[in-house]
Amino acid sequence: MKLKIDEIKGIVKAIRDTMHKKREYLIELDSVMGDGDLGLTMCKGFDSAVEAIESYDGDDIGQGLLKISMSMSNAAGTMGILLASAIMSAAKASKGKEILEADDLVEMAYAAVEGIKKRGKAKVGDKTILDSLVPAAEALDAAVKEGKELPEAYRAAAEAAAEGVEKTKEMVSQFGRAHYYGEKSRGNQDPGATAALLICQAISDYLN
């Protein structure tokens, strides 16, 4: 299975729809120790992402993702900025490509991770989006190397992201408003990692 710009558009819409369905859930999670605006940020960000990619009539996937990144950077909140950085990095990795094969998607996943690391300065274990996104990228990579088709590979990525989210419950927040709570942040799952999980699940559901 290979992905072209039409599939990318479909995936972005699927993520947008998922964020709207999970809006209140994300707000509730983020309200425990954060600003409570994550659900709104994700909806706003992916609403603008859909508008951006729908207005793009070319076939270069990197250029399409670049448009999404630019629109996403206008979404309120830290998460909008981090996702814009992730998508910008993925856009650079796919520049000039009209067809994405499995290896390309693995490269883009790792590029997205590095984009977030560079922008946010966090690492795995800091109770952030990286705690679900990194396991997802690694699982995608492993599945592709095992010769699995994309639907199965992304299913594995989503499962790894879910495990990553579960692990954040035992972590102490090192970033954002939640880090002011110190040890009290232990026991709650990280909203950012949860948002990344929802993205992975939306991609998996779309491809399956």
Q: What is the CATH number of domain 5-207?
A: 1.25.40.340
Side chain identity, residue 144: V
- Residues 14-51 have pLDDT tens digits of 999 999 999 999 999 999 888 899 999 999 999 999 99
- Residues 133-186 have pLDDT tens digits of 999 999 999 999 999 999 999 999 999 999 999 999 999 888 766 665 567 668
Q: What is the 3-state secondary structure (H, E, C) of the chain?
A: CCECHHHHHHHHHHHHHHHHHCHHHHHHHHHHHCCCCHHHHHHHHHHHHHHHHHCCCCCCHHHHHHHHHHHHCCCCCHHHHHHHHHHHHHHHHCCCCCCECHHHHHHHHHHHHHHHHHHHCCCCCCCCCHHHHHHHHHHHHHHHHCCCCHHHHHHHHHHHHHHHHHHHCCCCCCCCHHHHHHHHHCCCCCHHHHHHHHHHHHHHHHHC
Confidence (pTM):
0.95
- The answer to whether 207 and 151 have CB atoms below 8 angstroms apart is yes
